[in-house]
Chains A and B, each alone.
Chain A
Amino acid sequence: MIDRRAFLRLAAGAGTASFVGACGWDGGNAVRPLLLDVSRVNDWVGEKILFSKNRLAREYDIAERTANLPSYFISPTMPMLQDPKAWRVQITGLVREPLSLSLDQLRAMPRTTYTVKHHCVEGWSAIATWHGVPVSAIAERCGLLPQARYVRFDSFDSGYSNGWDLASAMHPQTILAYGMNDNPLSPTHGAPLRLYSPTKLGYKMTKYLVSLTFTAERPGG
């Protein structure tokens, strides 16, 4: 199985050449930029044609939960906070009022719970329940500026981050999850806070969150 660390190299657009050299032919320097250009077109098709902000992912019964949901992180050892009480998630970028929110403050905000199917880029799928606050509620609270088109989600897992288009981030099922399967989020699944959404593949759902940055340009990842 390909580990997630390897997968992210492409997302970051760096280090692929050396990795691929060791692993097999990917088309080489001549073809790779073309493939990435088509990938941008596919992003556009996915975000502007196939995506609907009103279409909700199917929910499942809690009896259908998968016993063990696999989990990954980038760092050599599991990322853990030195001082969990001091942790805050920063909301910055193109907002009227930057925020710094504690876990208790997030728990006091509108709460969403759903049991959905998780799709991994590797091809596996599994069902779990997630509890959290919709990203749209965060956006409302910080006063999003009209120029904001994307969001970058940053983690304390070796600098891992993801970029999302605003419509996907504002989907009603896109949440900052602090709970899973009726329990607080465990460190293996990204404690204290992770991004979750049944409309995206697992690697897009940033774990170990430290900040959300609203931007005008598409972030990497």
Chain B
Amino acid sequence: MTAPPVQKAPSPPFVKRHHWIVRLTHWMTFVLLAGMIMSGLQIYGAYARFGERGGPYYVNAFEDHGFPKWSRLGGWLAGGLNWHFTLMWPLIAGGVLYLSYLAASGEWRSLLFRPRDIRGAIEMQKYYLRLRKEHPPQGKHNPLQKAAYTFIILLGVLSVVTGFAIYKPTQLSWLTALFGGFQAARYWHFWAVWIFTGFLVVHVVLVFVVDPASLRAMISGWYRGRFPSHD
């Protein structure tokens, strides 16, 4: 007697999901941003508050707080500054390469959150809140993902621009003024750290909970998961 063959759901075929430029800049950004945040926390320790000398000081949960040694890079202020002002160039280069790729390939269409995505974002949010049963149809990314990725790219741009406002407050005084002055620019630059950190946590949790196959796709480029890879 032969046992009936075990019925396995046929695996979907592998599809190409991410171009090598996307994968390279994704992991580059991860490493470089970690270095920027760690050297940034080292620099922060030299003057752990925001606002002109004599106050008033901006609301800051980390006022006069030194971050633990494991979270810092550079060893001391000048070391932290040297790391920060070195890593910033490859980080910016990676960002420019990535954005150029999005623009040239047309991939931006599946990533950029636009007004027409609002309705879809509401449906997606309803699904997550269990107010609707079936997963709304989507392209490469659902509208909430588009919103998150668009936001994080803008946060990256904001970090670079506030960074320059702090780096050269006299030569780029118009930029520094745009953010409300030197101390305010430092403040926004510091806030970006915590938003990036929060994004990272949610991003990683969602990869493993919702779509583990996307991790492999971000490494090898090939995807065999439940979502489409093209719009």
Interface centre among A6, A25, A68 (most CB of B within 10 A): A25
Contact with A along B74-116 (1 / 0, CB 8 A): 1111110111011001000000000000000000000000000
**16 A–B contact pairs at CB < 8 A?**
A1-B47, A2-B77, A6-B76, A6-B77, A19-B76, A24-B72, A26-B79, A26-B83, A46-B171, A50-B172, A55-B171, A70-B53, A119-B169, A122-B47, A123-B46, A125-B52
Which residues from 1 to 50 on chain A have a C-beta closer than 8 Å to any C-beta of chain B? 1-2, 6-7, 9-11, 16, 19-20, 23-27, 34-36, 38-39, 42, 46, 50
Cα A123 to Cα B62 in complex, Å, equals 15
CB <8 Å contact, A66 and B54: yes
A sample of 20 more A-B contacts (CB under 8 A), given A6-B76, A6-B77, A199-B171, is: A1-B46, A2-B76, A2-B77, A10-B82, A19-B76, A20-B75, A23-B75, A23-B76, A24-B42, A24-B72, A24-B74, A24-B76, A35-B82, A46-B171, A50-B171, A51-B171, A68-B53, A121-B81, A123-B43, A126-B54
Q: List residues of chain A with CB within 8 A of the CB of B223.
A: none
List the interface of chain B (C-beta within 8 A of A). 42-47, 52-54, 69, 72-79, 81-83, 85-86, 89, 168-173, 182-183, 186
Measured CB to CB, the closest approach of chain A to B47, in angstroms, equals 4
Candidates A25, A122, A198; contact of B77 at CB < 8 Å: A122
CB <8 Å contact, B52 and A42: no
Query: In this assembly, does A85 line the interface, its C-beta being within 8 Å of a C-beta of chain B?
Result: no
Q: List residues of chain B with CB within 8 A of the CB of A34.
A: 86
Identify the 9 closest CB pairs spanning chains A and B, nearest first: A123-B47, A26-B75, A26-B79, A126-B53, A10-B78, A24-B75, A122-B46, A35-B82, A122-B47
> Given the interface contacts A20-B79, A39-B85, does A123 sit within 8 Å of B186 by beta carbon?
yes
CB <8 Å contact, B85 and A68: no
Measured CB to CB, the closest approach of chain B to A11, in angstroms, equals 8
Cα A123 to Cα B40 in complex, Å, equals 11
Query: In this assembly, does A117 line the interface, its C-beta being within 8 Å of a C-beta of chain B?
Result: yes
Cα A46 to Cα B164 in complex, Å, equals 11
List the interface of chain A (C-beta within 8 A of B). 1-2, 6-7, 9-11, 16, 19-20, 23-27, 34-36, 38-39, 42, 46, 50-52, 55, 57-58, 66-70, 117, 119-127, 198-199
> Given the interface contacts A6-B76, A25-B73, A26-B79, does A55 sit within 8 Å of B170 by beta carbon?
yes
Q: List residues of chain B with CB within 8 A of the CB of A55.
A: 170-171, 173
Q: List residues of chain B with CB within 8 A of the CB of A127.
A: 52
Measured CB to CB, the closest approach of chain B to A59, in angstroms, equals 12
CB <8 Å contact, A27 and B79: yes
What residue in chain B is nearest A67 (Cβ atoms)? B54
Q: List residues of chain B with CB within 8 A of the CB of A25.
A: 73-75
Cα A50 to Cα B167 in complex, Å, equals 11
CB <8 Å contact, A35 and B86: yes
Measured CB to CB, the closest approach of chain B to A115, in angstroms, equals 14
